[in-house]
Amino acid sequence: MKRLTLAILCAAGAMLVQKAMAQTHLRGQPFLQIDAGSYDAVLPGLGNFAFKAGLGKYTRRLWGSMFFVSVAHKQTSLVSEGSRVMIETDVPVDQYMAGYQLTPNLYQSAMRTFLVKLPLSLQAGYECLNRGEDFIGPYLLAPSSRVLLGAGAALEFEYRGVLVGYRQNVNLLSRYQKFSSLPYVGYKIHFR
Give the 3-state DSSP-derived string for 49-115, with helices as H, strands as E and coil as C: EEEEEEEEEECCCCCEEEEEEEEEEEEEEEECCCCCCEEEEEEEEEEEEEEEEEECEEEECCCCCEE
Count CB neighbours of 168 within 10 A: 13
In this prediction, residue 9 carries a pLDDT of 63
In this prediction, residue 81 carries a pLDDT of 59
Overall pTM > 0.85 = no
In this prediction, residue 139 carries a pLDDT of 66
User: DSSP state, 137?
Assistant: T
| Cα-only R_g, the chain | 21
Domain boundaries 25-190, corresponding CATH code:
2.40.160.20
Q: What is the mean pLDDT of each run of 10 residues along the chain (192 residues)?
A: 62 52 76 93 85 94 94 80 63 90 92 91 89 66 77 95 94 84 94 82
In this prediction, residue 80 carries a pLDDT of 63
Distance CA(181)–CA(152), nearest Å, equals: 10
In this prediction, residue 1 carries a pLDDT of 60
In this prediction, residue 52 carries a pLDDT of 96
**Of the candidates 19, 102, 2, 32, the residue with the CA atom closest to the CA atom of residue 60:** 102
Q: Which residues contact 148 (CB under 8 A, 6 or more apart)?
A: 95, 97, 123, 124, 125, 126, 127, 171, 172, 173, 174
Per-domain residue ranges of the chain: 25-190
